[in-house]
Amino acid sequence: MLHKTQFNATYGTRRQRIAEIALCQKDPCAVTTSTPRHPPGTRWRISLNNERFAGLLWQIVVVGIAIAVVAWLWSNAIHNLSVRRISTGFAFLGREAGMPIADTWLAYSPKNTYLRAFIVGVVNTLRVAAIGIVLATLVGTIIGIARLSSNWLLSRLAAVYVEALRDIPLLLQLLFWYVLMQGLPAARAAWKPIDGVYLSNRGLVLPSIPIEEGNLWVMAAAAVGLIALYALRRRLLARQMLDGKPRPLWPYALVFVVGLPALVSWGLGVSWTITVPELRGFNFVGGLTLSPEYFALLVALVTYTSAFIAEIVRSGIQAVPKGQWDAAMALGLRRSFVLQHIVMPQALRVIIPPMTSQYLNLTKNSSLAVAVGYQDIVSIANTTLNQTGQAIEAIALIMAVFLTISLGISLFMNWYNARIALVER
Amino acid sequence: MTSVTDAPENPLPFGRPRSRSVAGNRVIRWLRANLFQSIPSTIISLLLILVLAKACVSLVQWGFWNAIWSLPGNDTNACRAIRGLGACWAVIPEKFRFILFGTYPFDQQWRPALATLVFIALFFLSSRPRWWRKELVLVWAAALVVIGFLMWGGIPGLPFVSQDRWGGLPVTLILATFGLAFGFPLGILVALGRRSKLPAIRSLCVLYVELIRGVPLISLLFMASVMFPLFMPDGINIDKLLRAQIAFVLYAGAYLAEVIRGGLQAVPRGQHEAADALGLSYWQKNGLIILPQAIRHVIPPLVNTFIAFFKDTSLVLIIGIFDLLTTAKTAIIDLAWQSFSVQVSVFVGLIYFAFCFAMSRYSRGLEARAGTT
């Protein structure tokens, strides 16, 4: 039986062959045994041996099962919700949240709605993820280069750093940092590494510049200047392609990125005085305070992720053959030019894809905040879930937020990756 | 030591007086080549040595010199007096049974201990390439059954212990091992589905993988602990540990699928064509020709995924399942021992490190071997 089905699958069925032979007999020039037949499975036949039919059947069966399972779960959920008298839908978002959020950049009070609380949570997640990504990239790159150092002690230490941090769960590290933060002296006896920087069990306090509307306008001007500079750089490069003459960019940079914001700042009379934190009573006044929860989470995320990034950077640099250095140096190019224009572009091609997944990991891992009580989106959704019982909606919101962030990071990194990818013929 | 035969790798020039011993020369040469080869390097080395020496001294002072190793009469005041100056390791002998086995009945704790050993033996066996054959599946099945009997009991000689009382290292190992044991076949199916020519199956697999990989594990665990009961019909009440286990299987399946897909892509087209030419069916082709090659390609990244997965099991702390990290955190709730969580963290961290480091060394060894052959 097996032989027969295999035979049929490979050579077509008997009737098909008879038809083909009949066809051959009509056409005298094709009466050979090596007549080109139809490849198997391109015709429609209701038989499991027909590839197209079997494929269709498989798809119907699998999709049918998936739909049935989802429908079953959904009907159970509807039933359970009605028994427990939980109303579905996102109407609860408009109700008063009544949950305090200690650490926030946006104006918030417990009287605000759940929607506002969720937005605060998203901002808190982004705040830790964005700063974490920047710092982890910096630290990871330094450690990765240190691992390749010809200095034995430095490269060994970097290897120990990587190995130790990679092999211990992030949650354990996070709890460890948090306990250390709580064990720091009180604000009065705060540890003071540099003037104006205090580390105590109230968190890290840094000098800062108070941000008001005017400051934001200046920053916006700087951003506009950067975009203009980028566009200009492209034009200058295009013109250099035509006549081969390099054109300096720095005068334009001076005008757009320094001059324009300075002009706006002067015109609006914006103040840029730095406020240094001062100890008054039991707490600090002025400056920028990073809460112990935020600081512990940031330190844990940065150290943990930087260990992975270090390995990625190391392997990326090692992937560039030494001959590339030698060849570029033989052309008499400067070392910094070689690194910037010859080695780094090649290393980046190896580095970017795994780096993307590390950025995604860091963002997702920031949800561990709930373990130390930093109120990110997961923590706020969890509180909402306990207060209102809207489990499905709360978890759907978490998922939607993270899927959006993940998609955003992936899109950006894919765009960047495509930009630096090797152009092949 | 005083023999004057030259070191073969770097012969000294003739006619030079050999006042120092060869061994001494070698050390100095090594130091010059590796620590003091240039001025910046020398500065870095000296700075690092300074910092390292300082760190080592304070670590030894805290961890050994000033540390308290045992406390007579369970009086923790001595420990509290020395806090900040020395470690209180006495917390470990006091609490290690609870950290390792949770609230498992005290006189029965040899059973989780034995189960842990069975797990370790199973991992060790599975890591030997000469054991990579079909019988290994049977060995796994048998070992998991044995572990079930050991943990649950309920047969003569082993009183029944409900899984509410399980805790510590066995729970971590159970979550990780069962998650992988069931996630692996799932991952294979999904990886095949993602490379399938059938559009509906392919998009289902893509949806599953991207959905799971796009959200944090915590949200999956919340789903398992809060949403799962809502989705079950009346009367079916699935245990918390099992719900978390299902979440882990789904999670592992998605990540393993991506790794295996990488392996599938590395198998040359000719292998598919050859299998087709032999008239093998889809399952024969993949089971006998493609997958064995694909999986061999990706063993190192698979082990890395196992490591990540093993660490990720610690997240069940957040939904209140008593794994190793949760028991460690609970062990120091006790008022007398409250302020010694750093010591307990170090202890638990070393256990996790031992498992992960062994796996990462193993993966590195495999990679090195694959590179040479």
Q: What is the per-residue pLDDT across A386-404, written as a single tens digit (0 to 9) for each?
A: 888 888 888 889 999 999 9
DSSP state of A105: S
Percent of chain B topping pLDDT 70? 92
B100-372: what fold?
Answer: MetI-like fold (1.10.3720)
Mapped onto helix, strand or coil, the DSSP state of residue B268 is coil
Nearest chain B residue to A53 by CA: give it: B198
pLDDT, averaged across chain A: 82
Mapped onto helix, strand or coil, the DSSP state of residue A423 is coil
Task: Kindly state the average pLDDT of the residues A310-336.
Answer: 89
> The pTM is what?
0.82
Residues of chain A positioned with their CB less than 8 A from the CB of B219: 367, 378, 395, 398-399, 402
Dihedral angle computed from the Cα positions of residues A159, A162, A168 and A170, in that order, rounded to the nearest 10 degrees: 170
Angstroms from B279 CA to nearest CA on chain A: 6
Task: Kindly state the average pLDDT of the residues B338-343.
Answer: 80
Q: Do the Cβ atoms of B318 and A370 come within 8 Å?
A: yes
Nearest to A395 among B223, B314, B349 (CB): B223
d(CA B162, CA B152): 6
State the distance between the two ends of chain B, measured CA to CA, in whole angstroms.
39
Task: Kindly state the average pLDDT of the residues B259-282.
Answer: 90
Task: Kindly state the average pLDDT of the residues B95-111.
Answer: 85
Strand pairing partners for A275?
A208
Q: Which long-range contacts (CB under 8 A, 24 or more apart) does A389-394 make?
A: A389/A84, A389/A86, A390/A86, A390/A88, A390/A92, A391/B226, A391/B227, A391/B230, A392/A77, A392/A88, A392/B227, A392/B230, A393/A88, A393/A89, A393/A90, A393/A92
Q: What is the residue extent of each domain of chain B?
A: 1-34, 100-372
Q: What is the pLDDT of residues B219-254, one digit of tens each?
A: 999 888 888 888 888 777 788 888 999 999 999 999
d(CA A144, CA A310): 4
Selected residue of A49, A52, A156, A166 to mutate for chain B interface (largest B Cβ count, 10 A) = A166
Answer yes or no: is pLDDT of A20 > 70.
Answer: no
pLDDT for res A423? 65
Query: Of the spans A68-77, A271-280, B148-157, B235-244, which averages the highest pLDDT?
Result: A68-77
Angstroms from A167 CA to nearest CA on chain B: 5
Q: Do the Cβ atoms of B200 and A370 come within 8 Å?
A: no
Q: Which domains does chain A have, with CATH numbers?
A: 1-40 (no CATH), 114-210+273-420 (1.10.3720.10)
- Taking the Cβ of residue B352 and every Cβ of chain A, the question of whether any pair is shorter than 8 Å is answered with yes
Q: Do the Cβ atoms of A150 and B315 come within 8 Å?
A: no
d(CA B248, CA B180): 8
Angstroms from B256 CA to nearest CA on chain A: 15
Nearest to A63 among B200, B226, B360 (CB): B200
Q: Are B307 and B257 in contact (CB under 8 A)?
A: no
- Taking the Cβ of residue B35 and every Cβ of chain A, the question of whether any pair is shorter than 8 Å is answered with yes
Tokens read off for A244: 């081969």
d(CA A270, CA A214): 5
ipTM, interface predicted TM-score of the complex: 0.85
DSSP state of A184: S
Q: Do the Cβ atoms of A63 and B312 come within 8 Å?
A: no
Selected residue of A59, A177, A178, A184 to mutate for chain B interface (largest B Cβ count, 10 A) = A59
pLDDT band at A45 (very low <50, low <70, confident <90, very high): low
pLDDT for res A38? 53
Q: Do the Cβ atoms of A172 and B211 come within 8 Å?
A: no
- Taking the Cβ of residue B206 and every Cβ of chain A, the question of whether any pair is shorter than 8 Å is answered with no
Answer yes or no: is pLDDT of A27 > 60.
Answer: no
Lowest-confidence pick of A135-144, A253-262, B72-81, B308-317: B72-81
Q: Are A55 and B197 in contact (CB under 8 A)?
A: yes
Q: Are B65 and B46 in contact (CB under 8 A)?
A: no
Nearest to B230 among A81, A176, A367 (CB): A81
Residues of chain B positioned with their CB less than 8 A from the CB of A58: 198, 201
Answer yes or no: is pLDDT of A26 > 60.
Answer: no
Q: Which residues, 6 or more positions from A286, have their beta carbon under 8 angstroms from its beta carbon?
A: A208, A275, A276, A277, A278
pLDDT for res B73? 67
Size of interface A-B (CB pairs under 8 A): 156
Q: Do the Cβ atoms of B219 and A402 come within 8 Å?
A: yes
Q: What is the pLDDT of residues A241-299, one digit of tens each?
A: 888 888 888 888 888 888 888 888 888 887 777 778 877 777 777 778 888 899 999 99
Residue B107 main-chain phi, psi, to 5 deg: -75, -10
Nearest to B233 among A76, A151, A364 (CB): A76
Nearest chain A residue to B344 by CA: give it: A176
